[in-house]
Amino acid sequence: MNSMYFTEEHELFRQSLREFLKKEVTPHIDKWEKTGDIDRFIWKKFGEMGYFGIAYPEAYGGLELDLFYTVIFLEELQRINSGGFAAAMWAHAYLAMTHLNKEGDHRIKEEYLRPSISGDKIGCLGITEPFGGSDVAGMRTTAVKEGDHYIINGSKTFITNGVYSDYLVIAAKTNPELGNKGISIFVIDRDTPGVSATKLEKLGWKASDTGEIAFDNVKIPAHNLMGEENKGFSYIMQHFALERLIMGVNAHARTEYALEYAIQYISEREAFGKTIDKFQVLRHTVADIASEVEMCKEFNYSVAKRLDQGQYVVKEASMSKLLSTKIADEAIYKCLQLLGGYGYMEEYPMARLLRDSRLGPIGGGTSEILREIIAKIIIDKKEYKAATK
């Protein structure tokens, strides 16, 4: 236990969560990886255990715990070796629900946040578009106000929980002439006429449903606008700091899990009359990976501490995701090599780990985009400010 960041209560929570996942989730993972459809019962069990309410107000059924409970939640989800299942859980709890909590009014929190915390409703966040990718400001989805309603047209893609969720938190342009200053955030019920979704097939993250969503003259009440009109871009940018830190934490956690498995394997595998963990070249590979993952962990924990204290850590969170996902890809590749031919077999966990890890440098802002954001902050002295408290 790293006592700089984790208390005894944190560790008790970790143990309880690990046992819950082993009992309630792990037995179903292979099935969900094959079907790409996570059974609804597990969402309700997560809700009953309070796992979706870790970061949210008690007034709506949450626990209002510090950010290191979220760090533990993310780390333990990586240990079950299904990036897709983990993504479905945290995309609901920390992408869709973050916007509900930060920008939603009391009615929206009662209708969407409360049942999200209890596991009765599943949410997704729709920002990325087929022609936009990382260019959030270039989105084409529009929301035109007509009386006491908005009419939404457009599409989103690569949306986790995009097919089976109950509601969608989406970004749309309410004033296209203003560019990124004309974006707003809305919540939409899945069964609203004009909403349709197509499931996408992926290289990894097989257990999660990833959808392309279309909006064809979707009519929603004006009170489903969240926050202020035309302030959506600021809200999105603000919450990207948390999303990027989440992906950084995910990366160091799956690297640590991969390394633990590889160490166990080489301590049991024999060649030339001894276990292969006695060969220097393999020992030094392990030493390099262990050093890199420890550096990522310590940095990510320090960023989490600052974010928990209310600091706006967009630069540090971007660095967290950039380096942690890069190191994870490289380290898991090396871990697979330590297993030799068995690393290439589906019955061993490393093949899935390798596929799932590859999304790290892509989702939530590509590494190329993150480098430019960091360069703007460091070279151009650009300052990013929080949109909401």
388 pLDDT more than 60: no
Query: Would the pLDDT of 312 be above 70?
Result: yes
User: Mean pLDDT across the chain, nearest whole number?
Assistant: 95
Residue positions annotated with a catalytic role:
243
d(CA 273, CA 328): 32
String of DSSP letters for 330-384: HHHHHHHHHTGGGGGSTTSTHHHHHHHHTTTTTTTS-HHHHHHHHHHHHTS----
Question: Model confidence over 131-186: pLDDT tens digits?
Answer: 876 677 789 999 999 999 999 999 999 999 999 999 999 999 999 988 889 999 99
Per-residue pLDDT band at 260 (split at 50, 70, 90): very high
Mean pLDDT for 111-132 is 95
Dihedral angle over CA of 200, 201, 206, 209, nearest 10: 10
Quote the strand ranges of 190-305, DSSP E: 195-199, 210-221, 225-226, 270-271, 274-275
- Please provide residue 28's backbone torsions phi and psi, each rounded to the nearest 5 degrees: -105, -5
pLDDT (tens digit per residue) in 181-207: 999 999 999 999 999 999 999 999 999
From the list 280, 256, 250, 258, the residue with the least C-alpha distance to 333 is 258
Confidence band of 3 (pLDDT split at 50, 70, 90): confident
| pLDDT category of residue 103 using cuts at 50, 70 and 90 | very high
Name the pLDDT band for 237 (thresholds 50, 70, 90).
Answer: confident
**Average of per-residue pLDDT across 368-386:** 91
Q: What is the mean pLDDT of residues 227-240?
A: 92
Counting residues of the chain whose pLDDT is more than 70, the rounded percentage is 98
Residue (of 161, 280, 254, 234) closest to 386 by Cα position = 234
| Listed residue (176, 174, 171) closest to 136, CA to CA | 171
More confident residue, 270 or 388: 270
Alpha-carbon distance of 208 to 43, in angstroms, equals 13
Confidence grade of residue 238 (pLDDT, cut at 50, 70, 90): confident
Does pLDDT of 375 surpass 80?
yes
Average pLDDT over residues 84-104: 98
